[in-house]
């Protein structure tokens, strides 16, 4: 989960800022969609972690 965050914040987010500064809105939208997908993957990983923790106690 930390790796996904580091990738999103360290690589994808600076790309988003560059596109916004250049007013390249279609490219910024595509980059924002990539961030949205990474957030979804991170959420799925978190839910799997919680599920494993809950079911392993049984």
What does the pLDDT look like over 16-52, one tens digit per residue?
999 999 999 999 999 999 999 999 999 999 999 999 9
DSSP 8: I
Cα angle 16, 45, 58; round to 5: 165
Cα–Cα distance, 54 to 1 (Å, whole number): 18
- Residue 15's closest CA among 35, 40, 42, 36? 35
Domain that holds residue 51: 2-56
Q: Is the pLDDT of residue 58 over 70?
A: no
With cut-offs at 50, 70 and 90, classify the pLDDT of residue 57: confident
pLDDT at 6: 98
The pLDDT tens digits for 5-20 are 999 999 999 999 999 9
Do you know the residue count of the chain? 58
Q: How many structural domains compose the chain? A: 1
């Amino acid at each position: 989960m930390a790796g996904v965050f580091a990738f999103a914040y360290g690589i994808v987010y600076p790309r988003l800022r560059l596109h916004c500064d250049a007013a390249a809105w279609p490219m910024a939208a595509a980059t924002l969609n990539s961030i949205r997908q990474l957030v979804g993957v991170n959420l799925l990983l978190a839910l799997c972690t919680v599920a494993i923790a809950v079911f392993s106690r049984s």
